[in-house]
């Protein structure tokens, strides 16, 4: 977490930096951008797909994907809102991601909500309507089936995902520092 | 890797199908009535043609490949969820390919099969070289080791209803936010 960790660089001009400090790759596919809110200082890496077009069926303005601060969507990850039948018609539901959430490369995320300080390893599949509470770790290659609820301070792994361990109480600070440091180190070459 | 020059693309799509612009379609592909192809889907007819039946949903990251000489036929009402990869010889009706499921070649898929998230389906190891395995109807491939079991068909109607409503809604919502390939 110190100043000695290597920088993570990208080629200049391949990322767009917004006023609030979000870094969004030009090669990320973002559909329905009007329905996506980024909290600031979040990174969306190359090849990822954000589906903001899959919105609720009722009329009016709907936010589809909300993301907090210091989030990371890794390379090639797909983030899309979950959908189901409700009162006889099909509709999509919003996907809420809090602060300090790291989603590794090549994940597929269809969760309903992800709490703050959650780390999802590479190649994970997070099923429809999964709820991940604050401070959880999903190890690489985990498959969480539809509707799984992941409690705070837990570590999950496997296909289907199972709780395998718990986290230490100091984890919140660790994760926040890690996310901030990642953001600071992620810059143009 | 050297490969013989790809055949010229010939895409035939029904006027009621919805195919996003941001897709990779190569070779001789026929897409029937009511299909929805999301952006970033890939359909490659490298060998023979690919014929896709009515009301299929092909989501982003899906890869459907036909390397054989014969036509790869895909039935009606199939749902290809995010990131699945299909190289089967043929696919029946009402199948679900869940996120990142893989079906290798030399396999024929019947109807109502489910391929769970993250599974890989290979032909049985006892098969001789060049033999083809048929996956019977209502098979479910699940879990870490991609085991097989039978679905007894409970909740089938609910599932089919959901599928219909889902595609109906997609047909309404997808063209609003995505550029659509002009269909002929």
Question: Tens of pLDDT along chain B (184 residues)?
Answer: 455 555 578 888 888 999 999 899 999 999 999 999 999 999 999 988 999 999 999 999 999 999 988 999 999 999 999 999 999 999 999 999 999 999 998 899 999 999 999 999 988 888 777 788 899 999 999 988 888 999 998 899 999 999 999 999 999 999 988 888 887 6
pLDDT at A2: 63
CB pairs under 8 A between A and B: 67
| Residue A52 contacts B where some CB pair is shorter than 8 Å | yes
pLDDT at B3: 55
pTM of the predicted structure, to 2 decimals: 0.90
DSSP states of A92-113? E--EEE-SS-EE-TT-EE--SE
- A1 confidence band (pLDDT: 50, 70, 90): low
- Domains of chain B, each with CATH number or no CATH: 10-124+131-176 (2.160.10.10)
Query: So where are chain A's domains?
Result: 28-184
pLDDT at A15: 93
What whole-number percentage of chain A has pLDDT above 90? 81
pLDDT at B9: 80
Interface of B with A in 108-137 (CB under 8 A): 117-118
| Residue A90 contacts B where some CB pair is shorter than 8 Å | yes
A17-59 pLDDT per residue, tens:
999 999 999 999 999 899 999 998 999 999 999 999 998 888 7
CA–CA distances in Å: residue B90 to residues B12, B47, B76, B118, B140: 19, 14, 12, 21, 17
- Residue A3's CB is within 10 A of a number of other CB atoms, namely 7
A65-84 pLDDT per residue, tens:
999 999 999 999 999 999 99
Contact A54 B162 (CB under 8 A): no
Cis amide linkage into residue B66, ω under 30° from 0 = no
Average pLDDT, chain A: 92
* Residues B174/B38, Cβ–Cβ less than 8 Å: yes
Q: Residue B162: list chain A partners with CB under 8 A.
A: 84-85, 90
Residue B154 buriedness (CB in 10 A; 0-12 / 13-18 / 19+): exposed
Q: How far is A159 from chain B (nearest CA, A)?
A: 5
Residue A38 buriedness (CB in 10 A; 0-12 / 13-18 / 19+): buried
* Torsion of the alpha carbons at B132, B135, B136 and B137, rounded to the nearest 10: -140
Residue B165's Cα: distance from chain center in Å?
Answer: 19
pLDDT at A134: 94
pLDDT at B4: 58
Pairwise CA distance, residues A17 & A14, whole Å: 10
Q: How far is A121 from chain B (nearest CA, A)?
A: 15
pLDDT at A3: 66
Contact A78 B100 (CB under 8 A): no
Complex ipTM: 0.86
Pairwise CA distance, residues A39 & A37, whole Å: 6
Q: How far is B174 from chain A (nearest CA, A)?
A: 7
SS3 A176: helix
Q: Residue A109: list chain B partners with CB under 8 A.
A: none
| Residue A27 contacts B where some CB pair is shorter than 8 Å | no
- Residue B87's CB is within 10 A of a number of other CB atoms, namely 18
Pairwise CA distance, residues B5 & A16, whole Å: 37
* Both structure tokens of B153: 């068909």
Pairwise CA distance, residues A164 & B172, whole Å: 43
Contact A159 B118 (CB under 8 A): yes
Q: Residue B143: list chain A partners with CB under 8 A.
A: 159-160
Average pLDDT for residues A150-158, to the nearest whole number?
A: 95
CA–CA distances in Å: residue A180 to residues A56, A68, A183, A185: 33, 13, 5, 9
Asked if the A28-184 domain carries CATH number 2.160.10.10, the reply is yes
């Amino acid at each position: 977490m110190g100043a000695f960790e290597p920088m993570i660089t990208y080629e200049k001009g391949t990322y767009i930096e917004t006023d609030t400090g979000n870094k969004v790759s030009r090669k990320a596919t973002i559909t329905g951008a009007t329905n996506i809110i980024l909290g600031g200082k979040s990174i969306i890496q190359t090849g990822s797909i954000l589906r903001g077009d899959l919105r609720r069926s009722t009329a009016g303005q709907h936010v589809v994907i909300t993301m907090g601060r210091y989030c990371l969507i890794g390379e090639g990850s797909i983030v899309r809102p979950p959908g189901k039948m409700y009162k006889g018609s099909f509709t999509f539901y919003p996907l809420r991601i809090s602060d300090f959430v790291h989603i590794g490369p090549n994940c597929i995320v269809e969760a309903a909500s992800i709490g703050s300080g959650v780390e999802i390893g590479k190649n994970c599949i997070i099923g429809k309507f999964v709820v991940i509470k604050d401070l959880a770790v999903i190890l690489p290659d985990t498959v969480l089936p539809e509707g799984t609820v992941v409690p705070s301070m837990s570590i999950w792994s496997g296909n289907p995902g199972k709780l395998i361990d718990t986290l230490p109480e100091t984890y919140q600070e660790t994760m926040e520092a890690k996310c901030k440091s990642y953001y600071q180190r992620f810059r143009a070459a | 890797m050297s490969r013989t020059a790809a055949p010229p693309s010939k895409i035939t799509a029904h006027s009621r199908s919805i195919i996003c612009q941001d897709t990779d379609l190569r070779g001789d592909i026929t897409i029937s009535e009511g299909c929805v192809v999301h952006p970033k889907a890939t359909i490659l007819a490298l060998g023979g043609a690919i014929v896709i039946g009515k009301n299929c949903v092909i989501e982003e990251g899906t890869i459907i490949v036909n390397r054989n000489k014969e036509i790869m036929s895909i039935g009606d009402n199939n749902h290809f969820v995010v990131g699945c990869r299909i190289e089967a010889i043929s696919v029946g009706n009402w199948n679900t390919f869940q996120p990142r499921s893989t079906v290798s070649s030399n396999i024929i898929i019947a109807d109502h099969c489910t391929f769970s998230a993250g599974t890989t389906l290979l032909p049985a190891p006892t098969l001789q070289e060049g033999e083809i395995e048929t996956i019977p109807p209502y098979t479910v491939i699940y879990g870490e080791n991609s085991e097989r079991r039978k679905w007894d068909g409970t909740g089938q109607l609910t599932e089919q209803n959901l599928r219909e409503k889902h595609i109906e809604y997609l047909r309404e919502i997808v063209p609003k936010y995505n550029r659509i390939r002009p269909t002929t």
